[in-house]
């Protein structure tokens, strides 16, 4: 009987030691929240900082993303017009020649597609490194010019010239904004130009 009693006492002591060495999950939670409330406060501040940083980042590119989506929708419209005129003129793929009406619309869509990657690249570089609002305004102006180019080219070949020059001018402006923004970012300028 005495041996059994001693064995029970030893097992109880070992359980107590184990519980001290390895606390339960509830004890850990109580310890982290009650004994160290600063840890909980630090986690909340970190989450708040991440949320604010994300909202600021999205705010800085929201206009650029909007212009990008508008440009994609415009490209989709141009592609649908080519499909429509193919069916109207009965020109099956992969043929790219046919009546003058089809050739004008096909060439207008191809030209807009060729310049679209250049436009997107300059839009985002100018918007991120120079100024988002100014770049977005140039982007909307470019999309309007490209729509006029497509419509004018669909009517006659001469109708494409004025919108073509306008869109080329907008691209030149975006190039200037992009280069200026990158220079300001990479090249240290004198402090008297940009005082704190």
> Among all residues, which ones are annotated catalytic?
87, 160
Under 8 Å between Cβ of 178 and 130: yes
Q: Whole-angstrom Cα distance, residue 108 to residue 82?
A: 9
Exposure string (b/e) for 160-183, b if CB count within 10 Å is 16 or more? beebbebbeebbebbeebbeebee
CA distances from 61 to 27, 75, 126, 132, 169 (A): 45, 21, 11, 7, 23
Closest by Cα among 107, 108, 101, 76 to 87: 101
Under 8 Å between Cβ of 97 and 103: yes
């Amino acid at each position: 009987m005495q041996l059994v009693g001693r064995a029970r006492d030893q097992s109880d002591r070992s359980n107590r030691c184990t519980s001290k060495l390895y606390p339960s999950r509830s004890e850990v939670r109580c310890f982290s929240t009650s004994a160290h409330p600063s840890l909980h406060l630090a986690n909340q501040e970190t989450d708040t900082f991440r949320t604010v940083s994300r909202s600021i980042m999205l705010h800085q590119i929201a206009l650029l993303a909007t212009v990008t989506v508008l440009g994609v929708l415009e490209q989709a419209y141009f592609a649908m017009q080519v499909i429509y005129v193919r069916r109207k003129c009965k020109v099956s793929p992969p043929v790219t020649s046919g009546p003058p009406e089809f050739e004008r619309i096909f060439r207008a869509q191809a030209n807009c597609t060729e310049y679209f990657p250049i436009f997107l690249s300059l839009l985002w570089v100018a918007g991120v490194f120079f100024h988002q609002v100014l770049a977005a305004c140039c982007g909307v102006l470019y999309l309007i010019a490209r729509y006029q180019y497509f419509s004018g080219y669909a009517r006659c070949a001469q109708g494409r010239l004025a919108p073509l020059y306008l869109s080329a001018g907008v691209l030149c402006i975006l190039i200037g904004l992009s280069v200026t923004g990158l220079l300001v970012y990479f090249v240290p300028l004198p402090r008297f130009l940009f005082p704190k």
